[in-house]
Chain A
């Protein structure tokens, strides 16, 4: 059984106090069940109430507690201190996002990219009103299931050097969610999303580093979604000369 205390090195930023970030060091108690989020809450409750960070569910579902832990993008509710012992453990805000305060980043650009790709079912033109509940076979569900697991935690954006260099890039999660609906047999919005994904800041920006998939806490594979969208767009362009070669 692990236990004792461990050192946290937390990057702090408060624009009202200093124009540049600094690092505060805290020694926190931990045992087998303590995660970084627990440690941050300990600091906030017992040591420094001004420490600011986002969290909600504490169980890897809400996607709000992502941060850089030991230099890697991780959910703080899933990062056990026993695995990071003996420390010190560095805790920084998510990379590639503007920092508003301490560990809180501005997510507006991601939310805008998400809205742009229409991550919802757009009814097929051939689906008449009253068609019923839109049943699917297990194979049809399997075509998009893993992509539907995305919790919008933005760890993939923090792992993506392309997004770090060009923040107009739609990014891994938004494209994975576009792909999720593109692959849904009930959806008829693929042509709409093709126009968005095919733009300069869409899938073609991706150079297939692949780290977006490596860091995803839910097992989603955005890198595959992006490359498959590239294939779809390329086949679509090719359809001019080879009509049978493009998908639906």
Chain B
């Protein structure tokens, strides 16, 4: 806005706990918070590359850490958060993108389901290449 906000009238400041007000706000906060776990996964991947670049001993130590209980717990949390983050964004993507087939708008649920199915198919392909190739 060009004009600055008016200051007339009583306007209490927004509390820091605004996101606790409703279930919808809490779901939003959870969605945003899960992106931290997505970032954590990226950091782990960067550390993986760093260890690889430092030679066999550093790489071996990194692999040892990957097998630890702490790393397993971290990856379990990353997986759960990543699933929540991904599925919520697929649902929102369907709200943003209008998809038409033969001139008719495809229902949002069908768009989200298609995205999820495509994602599962790609994930299965990656898992197949990683595990069996």
Contacts and interface: CB of A to CB of B under 8 A. Distances in A.
B19 interface: yes
Given A109-B6, A224-B96, A71 B103 contact: no
Given A99-B11, A100-B9, A112 B18 contact: no
B11 to A, nearest CB: 4
Contact of A227 (B4, B6, B24, B95): B95
Contacts of A28: none
Given A98-B9, A99-B10, A211 B25 contact: yes
B1 A170 contact: yes
B101 interface: no
Given A224-B96, A231-B96, A164 B2 contact: no
A161 B25 contact: yes
B21 interface: yes
Contacts of B25: 161, 209, 211
A221 B18 CA distance: 22
B7 to A, nearest CB: 8
B19 to A, nearest CB: 7
B73 to A, nearest CB: 29
- Main SS of the interface on chain A? mixed
Interface residues of A, number: 38
Contacts, number: 76
A109 B1 contact: yes
Contacts of A201: 1
A207 B89 CA distance: 12
Contacts of A227: 92, 95-96
A238 interface: no
Contacts of B92: 208, 210, 227
For the complex of A and B, the 6 pairs showing the least CB-CB separation, nearest first, are: A98-B9, A227-B96, A98-B11, A164-B14, A99-B10, A167-B5
Given A139-B103, A209-B25, A211-B22, 19 more contacts: A21-B10, A71-B22, A98-B7, A98-B11, A99-B9, A100-B9, A105-B9, A106-B9, A113-B1, A116-B2, A161-B14, A164-B18, A167-B5, A170-B1, A207-B28, A211-B25, A214-B24, A221-B95, A231-B97
